[in-house]
Structure 1
């Protein structure tokens, strides 16, 4: 392969290639100048400078992925806790005879999860549906 062919190949690698992900365009240009001057390819070039940056970036990505996985786990735990709270509140509301307190509890539950989810949980827990629940079902089915 001639010098010019090597230079052409290196220049073509500056575009969207795996090679270009490791070596910056300036580094590739310096390699080409070294070929033109018949110097060793890595003369005056910190060849692995970019590699260190890639390694740091990969480590940062691994750290961020770990943080994301941890956050996803926390979100799942919070969803489970919310579900348990909703079940508890619905069961408590079902046992309270004071209609004003019961209404307040049910309003809070509906605020937390919405009317549809409240009705669904009541059915799953075998709790009685209110007149409003039945009307909502009739209007939304």
Structure 2
């Protein structure tokens, strides 16, 4: 997904709002998850979003996503965000994120998803390291539930 960054998209530094980048990430990740499982999906978590560099007015924001790993009913989606200077074609990595989506059946209940078949070295690395991220997400979720129920 690619879009141009215009002045209404930016803060007083002339760079895109972080929340706008987050919305783009969630949108492209949702599309990616739905294409993978051909089901409705819901965002279950966003484990990390690292802003590495700003995207300025008049640059393009370019997002690329793929399903990096699946569990029973969930999918981990990796999203890479780049800025592109439209005059020179130069691109630079500006952020990246991992999100988790759950596939839903016709009744809105979680339903199984197909496995991932990684092809590139990057995809294989994300696939190999996904179980560790899965465990971290589960621990974080368990702690959040415990905290909520004890308050």
Larger radius of gyration: 1
**TM-score under structure 2 length normalisation:** 0.25
Larger helix fraction of residues: 1
**TM-score under structure 1 length normalisation:** 0.27
Larger strand fraction of residues: 2
- Higher relative contact order, chain-length normalized (CA < 8 Å, sep 6+): 2
